[in-house]
């Protein structure tokens, strides 16, 4: 399996800008073939929706997501029973 991160978490702005993101994807990989997990944050006028959130493995990624949620209402959507 070829991956684009060695281990840890990678955060990417999928829509919007880094300063004003609308959709953020973060990928967390623990090193095993089945350990690649995708999570999303969707920003709307009503707040933030976390989709299948997995805690980032590094502090920079965690700070990015904390900043996005700061002061905004948050909802969580889990699409799999594994969370």
pLDDT tens-digit map of 11-42? 888 999 988 889 999 988 777 766 778 899 99
- Our separate counts of H helices and E strands in the chain read 1, 5
pLDDT, residue 68, reads: 85
The secondary structure element, H or E, covering residue 32 is none
- Total domain count for the chain? 1
The yes-or-no verdict on residue 3 having pLDDT over 50 is: no
The verdict on residue 15 lying in a domain is yes
The verdict on residue 83 lying in a domain is no
Round the average pLDDT of the chain to a whole number and report it. Answer: 83
- From the number of C-beta atoms within 10 Å of its C-beta (0-12, 13-18, 19+), residue 58 rates as middle
pLDDT mean over 41-47: 91
pLDDT, residue 83, reads: 60
Q: Which domain holds residue 69?
A: 8-77
The verdict on residue 21 lying in a domain is yes
Q: Which of 71, 68, 61 lies closest to 26, judged by CA?
A: 61
Token pair in block for residue 73? 């209402």
CB 27 within 8 A of CB 9: yes
The verdict on residue 29 lying in a domain is yes
């Amino acid at each position: 399996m070829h991956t684009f991160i060695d281990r840890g978490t990678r955060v990417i702005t999928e829509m919007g800008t880094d300063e004003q993101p609308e959709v953020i994807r973060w990928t967390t990989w623990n090193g095993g073939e089945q350990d690649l997990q995708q999570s999303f944050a969707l920003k709307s006028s009503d707040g933030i929706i976390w989709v299948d959130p997995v805690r980032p493995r590094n502090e920079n990624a965690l700070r990015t997501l904390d900043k996005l949620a700061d002061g905004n209402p948050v909802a969580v959507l889990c699409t799999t029973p594994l969370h």
